[in-house]
Amino acid sequence: MSTHFARPAVAAAVTALAIALSGCSENQSDNTAEPADTSIDNAYIVPAFDQSCALQTDAPADLSFTATNNSSTTTETLQRISTPAASDVTITAPDSVLAMEPQSSIAAGQPVENTNETTAPDEPFHVTLQGVKNTLQPGKSVPVAFQFERAGTLTINVAVDACPTQKD
């Protein structure tokens, strides 16, 4: 066997292995954060008034997301949310709704499915961005910081929905 052919074969094998291993690396998307046992998924921003299909400076916008507590033993609590794209963020929910028992999740701006009438909440909780700034543009994303009791601050880029409804 000639070493002339062995070197390119080894180089090709090393390259193929490097490509294969890079596919196995952890790849965190922009709208998901997972330090330790807490994660944020499916986060997006929409106009507060769906019928207008427009974000207006100084007008409100809604933030929808799912927060999950993956711990099997400890409760996690969402404490506050902030973003440089708005002057303030308001969470409209009782404190008990913001506490996630182990292996559970909460969802802002999502429909509520009452599976147990006596203990399930009757309405979803809402998160509203007040005083939207001109940096909040449809089709773009903005950093949003979620403050949790145990996990601390998780900052992710949240997409701004281009248009939740279309008018003809």
User: Could you tell me if residue 20 is inside a domain?
Assistant: no
Number of domains into which the chain is organized: 1
User: Could you tell me if residue 90 is inside a domain?
Assistant: yes
pLDDT band at 156 (very low <50, low <70, confident <90, very high): very high
pLDDT band at 49 (very low <50, low <70, confident <90, very high): low
The pLDDT > 70 percentage for the chain reads: 63
10 Å CB burial of residue 95 (0-12, 13-18, 19+) is: exposed
Q: State the DSSP code for 33.
A: B
Query: Residue 29: what pLDDT?
Result: 43
pLDDT band at 4 (very low <50, low <70, confident <90, very high): low
pTM: 0.70
Q: Helix, strand or coil for residue 68?
A: strand
User: Could you tell me if residue 1 is inside a domain?
Assistant: no
Give the residue carrying structure tokens 């997301």: 65
Domain containing 144 equals 38-160
User: Could you tell me if residue 73 is inside a domain?
Assistant: yes
More confident residue, 104 or 139: 104
Highest mean pLDDT among 39-43, 56-60, 108-112, 121-125: 39-43
User: Could you tell me if residue 12 is inside a domain?
Assistant: no
Taking the alpha carbons at both ends of the chain, their separation in whole angstroms is 72
Q: Helix, strand or coil for residue 15?
A: helix
Residues 43 and 85 sit within 8 Å (Cβ to Cβ)? no
Q: What pLDDT, in 10s, does the model give residues 72-103?
A: 999 999 999 999 999 999 999 988 889 999 99
Residue 64 sits in a domain whose CATH number is 2.60.40.1890
How many Cβ atoms are within 10 Å of 16's Cβ, its own excluded?
10
How many Cβ atoms are within 10 Å of 48's Cβ, its own excluded?
17
